Structure 1
Amino acid sequence: MDKNRKKQYLLLLFTAILLTAAAVIFILRDYMSRVDNRIYLTSTTNLREVYSQVNNKLSHIVNEQWDLLAMSEDYIDSNADAPETIVSFVDDWKLSWKFTDFYFINTAGEWCTPDGAAGTMSFGSAWGKLISKQEKVIVDADTQNQESFMLFAIPVDTGTYNGFSYDALAVSYSSDALNAALGVSAFRGQATCYITDLSGNIIFSDSPTKPIGKNLLNYLADAEFSHATYQKVQADWAANTFGQCSYLLNGEKYYLVYQPTDFSDWLLVSMIPADIIDSDMLIVQKTTTLMVGFTCVVILALAVIFMFMSYQQTISQKNQELFWRDIMSDIMLQNLDNVYIMIEVNQKQTVYVSPNVERVFGISHTSAHPLFAIQELELSPETLDFPIEDLMQMPNGGSRVMECQIRTPGASAPSLFQKSVFHILDGQNNLLIFEFSNRTHEQEIRADIEAALQAANTANQIKSAFLSNMSHDIRTPMNAIMGISSLLLHAAHNPAKTEEYARKIQSSSQYMLGIINDILDMSKIESGQTHLHPEPLNLSEQIEQIEMLIRPQAVQKKQTFSIYKDEILHESIEGDPTKLRQILVNILGNAVKYTPEGGSIDFHIRELPRTLHSYARYQFTIKDNGIGIEADFLEHIYEPFVRAEDSVTNKVSGTGLGMAITKSLVDMMGGAIQIDSTPGKGTCFDVFLEFRINEETMAGSKPDAPDSADASARLAGMKLLCAEDNALNAEILKSILELWHVSCDIYPNGKELCDAFASARPGDYDLILMDIQMPVMNGYEATRTIRNSSNPLGQTIPIIAMTANAFADDVQQSLDAGMNAHLSKPIDIDKLYQTLQTMFG
């Protein structure tokens, strides 16, 4: 080859390299820009979610303080003549809730504390709301003697304390105390949270030592903003609206998110250095950039290869064939499953076929027309293929890519292949290179990743919703229990108030226990630990028990609750009574919850024609005229933790587990459940269950219940041996037994109880109450030890399990260990009384 032509080739090769490098740089810059924007959106969204939770928590603290102030008003009024009692009450309350001080405030802005301190206080614009409009307020107040603090205040009827006339009650929190209550620890503690007014004045900071001045907008005035402007931030704050952006200040990049608070014309502002929140994503960005760069380098290398191939066209035919084989062999070493076919268009002949064509497609590499043979295996329509005439019109170095389905020999299903065609012109040589690359595995991986991502997103949404519901539903009764307990400590002199507070605590405790039971039931079902325990049962008796649970709820809401039994031929059946009641009570309970006052609920029980001789089929229909269920929610009604969201259902507390548990139990019993609902008109549930008929005649009648007075007299004087490792529970148990004139000896673990029983003589103890989970020796081990002991009383003395292990398999374990009965905690006093009556009856 002459020197001029050689120079032309080298110049062309150099030009191609430069163009490809320029394209790579352009692609990488565009990619980096897109990734930076995505990182910004992701980071600010995460920051917003975290501080939305802070906002919710702050709102909860505000409402909690107002509620507690309102509850304390009655107590202060009733003890106005006893200042030392109020001082003690406030000191106890201060230890529980960590506030700074308690204030009595009059209309002149004068204040005094329970311990006698006094002064004046500046409320600013909130004064009119508190005194004139009689509204609850939260302000950044200050006194003559203190620095700025957060004040929660409510208006009250005019009262007098220690000679001071007051019109409002308030508690204050210092910045440190409020910051500790919020407890924000996200982003490794590097995020900073502020509360400002609409002008940017800082009211609260979780990092008060940071030198930014008293106005946050003034601090940001010299910042360099992205995704917003300083003027836009000012306007958003003045309008009290949400916004987010990033800014550069003193050489460091920060993210800024601001949102209105739920309780005042204030803003919650959060800032965090970008390198803290972006650190993980920057690693991903760097790794992805390297991968993209490597791919571009590979493309550049291929371009160089193609140019080099053109340069070698003037070599002899034999050397040329060896050259192509060497190049294609190198490519095949990197792509072992890729098949390559090279065609010389002018001479209409195949000049190269990669040897793996026989392994991949079952076609001999010596075939005269391997490309046509592969096309015969393709399932894609011919209109999607590459006509040779069109390929010839491609410029030198041009390429086309398409996907096609090819059924390879012996495969049960077609595989996805990517077919690429490259056009190369070199003097008189006119070449088309076909590449077939199997992408089935990549497609499966991509589908799996997409499915996993969708599942993860769905699970995360469900988890977030569940945690939000649980946080609200558990905190609601817990707040009542804690607040009323504080008041109960100071109400011993007032029996009416004591009884009222005790009933409220009992009601809240029962509600919290229901939530915990739902969660535990769902956990047992999902882990496969729930089993059916069939036993003889009477259907009418089960319906009566269900009615006893539901009718009081319906009466409280002034609802009509009707029960109809149609054509019941078999009352005596075999099944799990607990699971049956749980299914029907869950559905009936929802009917009561979601039916307005004055509505109606109908409960139909009918026996259906039998399909098997020994089994009876039943249809349980529960119909109400309540709010109904939207069609889109019906598709998700059996999913755990999912609840309908609207202005009506949001007022009804619950875990979102009831229907998931119900469906799981119906499936476990081999039944079916159907729903028909119209929004605004009502809902109808049909449950279909099948039970074995109890062939034995249930003769006789139940014995009359023993007279409670006689039973109580029989309990008097009894002595029990008890195991309980919790001191408070032991004290409660002892107090309950003393109500019935029953004495007891209580030991903190099974080992000490067994040691005490070893020397027991006839008449020392009448019965044993046994806790299960205890140190040293648990209840099961202790029971087996007693039953196998040398003391003959161990074979006859009744032993009752009294434990927080409340599932059916826990009951069975107690019985297997040798116990006579099982009581679950929290202890139901009536059930304990009835069980002792039975044992001593």
Structure 2
Amino acid sequence: MNFFKRYGMIGGAIAICFFVVLYVFFTTYSIFTVNNQVNYVAEHPYKVVSEINKIRTRILEINTYLPIFLANNENRPESIKAVLHTSRQENEKSQSILQAIYLGNPEDLTELKTALKNLEQAQIQVVDIIENNAMNKAEFEKYFKKEVEPLRVKADAAIQKVIDSADRRVLIIQEATEKKAEKASIYAALMGLLMIIFIIYAYKLRNEYMVNSELKRQQQILQDALLAAGKANAAKRDFLSKMSHEIRTPMNAIIGMSAIGFNYLDDQKRIADCLSKITFSSKHLLMLINDILDMSKIEDGKFTISAELFDMKKLVTSLTDINYTLAKTKGVSFEVVLSGIEEELLIGDAMRVNQILINLLSNAIKFTPKGGSVMLEIKKIRATGTKIWLRFIVQDNGIGMKSEFLERIYEPFEQGDSSVSGKYGGTGLGMAITKNLVNIMNGIIKVESREGQGSTFTVDLPFGLNPSEHKKNSPGLEDISVLVVDDDDDTCEHAEVLLKGMGVEVDWVLNGFEAVEKVRTACEIKHRCYDVCFIDWCMPDMDGIETTRRIRDYAGPDALIIIISAYDWSDIEQQAREAGVNAFIAKPFFASTLYNTLLTVIRKDGAVIPEEIGSTKDKYDFQGQKVLLVEDNELNMEIAAELLKFANLQVDVAENGQVAVDLFVNSKAKEYALIFMDIQMPEMNGYDATRCIRASKHTDAQEIPIIAMTANAFRDDVQAALDAGMNGHLAKPIDVNTIYEMIAKHINF
């Protein structure tokens, strides 16, 4: 009895171990099999779909834009052939991948290869025909529809056949996976039932749970991948659709107004109107391109921020000039208010700050109806020994935004709804770029908005302080008394901070009636009238001109009265001077502007009259100076040469870098005052040409300014130009004022 019991226990232990091994083996095998099937689904059919969709996308892009490129005379046939060659190479790579992983009928790939080859040959033939000027536009369109489009349809059908095969393969593998999963469950159940006899049922349940969890996890991964791929394709389709519409709109205006202009060559007024509209559309098109390129660089992680010394006054003045004009054209009031800012020279990326504010302000003006208002307020929120934080607040009372849209406002290609996109246009990239710029600059952006009531954007950005900057001395200003009259508290308080920092005695009031009474009291009772009165032009109840008339009755002719205006004062200048106004000054106030104005008042030698006072600016005249223009594109050369001649410059031209080097080396000493150098040119590019000039034995080789004038507009391109020995960089398309400022910076005239 003991014998059987002893060996029975041993046999039972062996049986337990055997069934445990069987259980582990079968469950492991089942999990491994299911896992392989899931990975198979992920790695094969979906890879096929991915590669075939790449081919389809290339075909669609080439077939859509090929007629446009061929219709544009500026696009050379060899460039278009190069694009077709690149597309063919990419398609061949995708076909090679398909050949390795495709599990459907091999004849599908043979059919696809033949269809693509026929389509590519037809496209090349179209380019050859156009290159030989064998047909006009109408004939070309008819030929394209007859000969090329059917081949594109055949190629698309071949592509669809491969996709359908891949889809069927997914269903087959999915069914096999489900069957294997079902078998795995049965094996696990049987093993668990046997292990109940040997008191290890709990262990079986635990492993079965793990099998099911892993299966669900793998299925969820597949579902998430499919969903993400679907969203990506949808976003791409939406983007291409929007870009096609947005780019075609200004292009249509440019082409259309050019055609109209040719028919009114004798009507200067009509020609000027056409050119104005062409210019506006061109700038709009450039804005779209810049948005797309900026977004691409941000997503690639190649976007960089500089830390350079810049003038805050120039930045704000530029913003005011640009947006005031836009707002005035639309019938919207625009104002810039500064609060507590004494520093003018800061360290940061002025170009990106300008881009952020231009995006916000242009949107505010765009979405604010006629009669509304837009305001930019800039205030100092805190400062340390080496850093200052500024808050930029852009506020409007326009159409506002729905609360649900605010949650996705910074996502690319997002707009409020289709009606907003249709009415106001835009790429939907502006706010995404703005958000990324603020983040890269270690700043914060917030938005508050209510539909129908307007929006407020708040941006906090850090800047470095100029360590060498110090406040200007203000000798003699201690005896000056000033009255500031403005209906805005912030403007008055800001002026008070700046003036008191110069040692000036300051009073301020909020309306004309208080100002008149203040002056009367000072002159008749205190017997000490104000030396200077800064009076806002636009005030309720009593405007600045009427206030000036009444103040003159008490102050007489000795006090200097300066009208403050955030607007163009040319319309009221004559009326204001008749009322007794001595000068004009623009908002917002800066310390240097007020300082120079007060120096002018007390007639200090060397006083600098601020740019804001007066209504005219000096024009550039470079009479007697000669420049060398290096440009391989004839149209660009003609445009640049004419712009330079407008400023009375003599212009020599060179069509490539080698010609430019030869002209310079053989020139007389000081013959050329400056060289404008294109970058991408045949025979010798701009970088190499610059190095050759710098290395030459010409007496001016090291001193002559060389300015890059190129479509290569990224920061890396600017640095490459400087590294090659150039002195500056201008990005195409060229702005007239920018090119004149660059010339004035580098030559004496």
On whether the aligned pair clears a TM of 0.5, the verdict is: yes
| Structure 2 match to 1:279 | 161
| Structure 1 match to 2:331 | 558
Question: Which amino acid is the alignment partner of residue 304 of structure 2?
Answer: H
2-side partners of 1:295 and 1:780: how far apart? 61
Q: Over the residues paired in the alignment, what is the CA RMSD in angstroms?
A: 3.9
Structure 1 SS opposite 2:211: strand
Structure 1 SS opposite 2:700: helix
Structure with a larger share of its residues in strand? 1
| Structure 2 match to 1:822 | 729
Residue 537 of structure 1: which of 274, 299, 310 is its match?
Answer: 310
CA positional deviation for 1:679: 0.9
Residue 833 of structure 1: which of 737, 740, 749 is its match?
Answer: 740
CA positional deviation for 1:447: 2.8
Structure 2 SS opposite 1:647: helix
Structure 2 SS opposite 1:826: coil
CA positional deviation for 1:582: 1.0
Residue 650 of structure 1: which of 422, 439, 461 is its match?
Answer: 422
1:472 is aligned to 2:322 = no
1:696 is aligned to 2:468 = yes
Structure 2 SS opposite 1:565: strand
Structure 2 SS opposite 1:765: coil
8 A contact 2:626–2:673 mirrored in 1: yes
Question: Relative to 1, partners in 2 of residues 1:721 and 1:632: Cα closer, same or farther, differing over 3 Å?
Answer: same
Question: Relative to 1, partners in 2 of residues 1:790 and 1:515: Cα closer, same or farther, differing over 3 Å?
Answer: same
Question: Relative to 1, partners in 2 of residues 1:645 and 1:762: Cα closer, same or farther, differing over 3 Å?
Answer: same
| Structure 2 match to 1:22 | none
1:349 is aligned to 2:204 = no
| Structure 2 match to 1:417 | 211
| Structure 1 match to 2:256 | 483
8 A contact 2:346–2:463 mirrored in 1: yes
Structure 1 SS opposite 2:729: strand
CA offsets, 1:643-670, max 9 Å, x none?
Answer: 2224344211211111111111100110
1:789 is aligned to 2:696 = yes
Alignment of 1:676-687 (within 5 A): 676-687=448-459
CA positional deviation for 1:562: 2.4
Alignment of 1:61-76 (within 5 A): none
1:675 is aligned to 2:523 = no
CA positional deviation for 1:580: 1.0
CA positional deviation for 1:547: 1.1
Residue 202 of structure 2: which of 353, 368, 372 is its match?
Answer: 372
1-side partners of 2:455 and 2:370: how far apart? 16
Structure 2 SS opposite 1:596: coil
Question: Which amino acid is the alignment partner of residue 303 of structure 2?
Answer: T
Structure with a larger share of its residues in helix? 2
- % of aligned pairs identical? 36
Alignment of 1:446-525 (within 5 A): 446-525=219-298
1:625 is aligned to 2:397 = yes
CA offsets, 1:24-77, max 9 Å, x none?
Answer: xxxxxxxxxxxxxxxxxx9xxx9xx99xx99xx9xxx9xxxxxxxxxxxxxxxx
Question: Which amino acid is the alignment partner of residue 650 of structure 1?
Answer: G
Question: Relative to 1, partners in 2 of residues 1:176 and 1:821: Cα closer, same or farther, differing over 3 Å?
Answer: closer
2-side partners of 1:298 and 1:832: how far apart? 73
Highest relative contact order (Cα 8 Å, sep 6+), 1 or 2? 2
2-side partners of 1:699 and 1:182: how far apart? 75
8 A contact 2:630–2:660 mirrored in 1: yes
Residue 576 of structure 1: which of 332, 340, 349 is its match?
Answer: 349
8 A contact 1:619–1:686 mirrored in 2: yes
Question: Relative to 1, partners in 2 of residues 1:515 and 1:186: Cα closer, same or farther, differing over 3 Å?
Answer: farther
2-side partners of 1:606 and 1:790: how far apart? 54
1-side partners of 2:181 and 2:351: how far apart? 68
CA positional deviation for 1:825: 0.9
| Structure 1 match to 2:718 | 811
8 A contact 1:187–1:276 mirrored in 2: no
CA positional deviation for 1:342: 5.3
CA offsets, 1:380-431, max 9 Å, x none?
Answer: xxxxxxxxxxxxxxxxxxxxxxx73xxxxxxxxxxx333xxxxxxxxxxxxx
2-side partners of 1:828 and 1:595: how far apart? 28
| Structure 1 match to 2:499 | none
1-side partners of 2:183 and 2:367: how far apart? 69
CA positional deviation for 1:698: 5.3
8 A contact 2:389–2:460 mirrored in 1: yes
2-side partners of 1:569 and 1:183: how far apart? 70
CA positional deviation for 1:340: 7.0
1:760 is aligned to 2:554 = no
Structure 2 SS opposite 1:794: coil
Question: Relative to 1, partners in 2 of residues 1:633 and 1:297: Cα closer, same or farther, differing over 3 Å?
Answer: closer
CA positional deviation for 1:281: 4.3
2-side partners of 1:711 and 1:296: how far apart? 80
CA positional deviation for 1:182: 11
2-side partners of 1:276 and 1:838: how far apart? 61
1-side partners of 2:718 and 2:184: how far apart? 73
Question: Which amino acid is the alignment partner of residue 189 of structure 1?
Answer: V
Question: Which amino acid is the alignment partner of residue 567 of structure 1?
Answer: G
Question: Which amino acid is the alignment partner of residue 732 of structure 1?
Answer: I
1-side partners of 2:342 and 2:667: how far apart? 54
CA offsets, 1:710-763, max 9 Å, x none?
Answer: 851xx2232222211112212222333333343322222212211232232213
CA positional deviation for 1:627: 0.9
| Structure 2 match to 1:743 | 650
8 A contact 2:387–2:464 mirrored in 1: yes
2-side partners of 1:451 and 1:649: how far apart? 30
| Structure 1 match to 2:153 | 189
1-side partners of 2:222 and 2:624: how far apart? 70
1-side partners of 2:704 and 2:235: how far apart? 50
2-side partners of 1:188 and 1:711: how far apart? 56
Question: Relative to 1, partners in 2 of residues 1:179 and 1:719: Cα closer, same or farther, differing over 3 Å?
Answer: same
CA offsets, 1:513-551, max 9 Å, x none?
Answer: 111111122222222222111122343432222111111
CA positional deviation for 1:444: 3.9
8 A contact 1:583–1:662 mirrored in 2: yes
| Structure 2 match to 1:636 | 408
| Structure 1 match to 2:435 | 663
Alignment of 1:46-445 (within 5 A): 180=144, 185=149, 188-190=152-154, 279-284=161-166, 286-288=168-170, 290-291=172-173, 341=191, 343=193, 349-350=197-198, 369-373=199-203, 404=209, 416-418=210-212, 439-440=213-214, 442-445=215-218
| Residues 534-543 or 672-681, more deviating | 534-543
Matched length: 486
CA positional deviation for 1:637: 1.2
2-side partners of 1:522 and 1:471: how far apart? 17
8 A contact 2:620–2:740 mirrored in 1: no
Question: Relative to 1, partners in 2 of residues 1:481 and 1:183: Cα closer, same or farther, differing over 3 Å?
Answer: farther
Question: Relative to 1, partners in 2 of residues 1:666 and 1:489: Cα closer, same or farther, differing over 3 Å?
Answer: same
8 A contact 1:570–1:616 mirrored in 2: no
1-side partners of 2:140 and 2:688: how far apart? 51
1:609 is aligned to 2:382 = yes
Question: Relative to 1, partners in 2 of residues 1:797 and 1:280: Cα closer, same or farther, differing over 3 Å?
Answer: same
Structure 2 SS opposite 1:475: helix
8 A contact 2:191–2:204 mirrored in 1: no
TM-score (norm. length: structure 2) = 0.58
8 A contact 2:193–2:201 mirrored in 1: no
2-side partners of 1:663 and 1:464: how far apart? 24
Question: Relative to 1, partners in 2 of residues 1:601 and 1:342: Cα closer, same or farther, differing over 3 Å?
Answer: closer
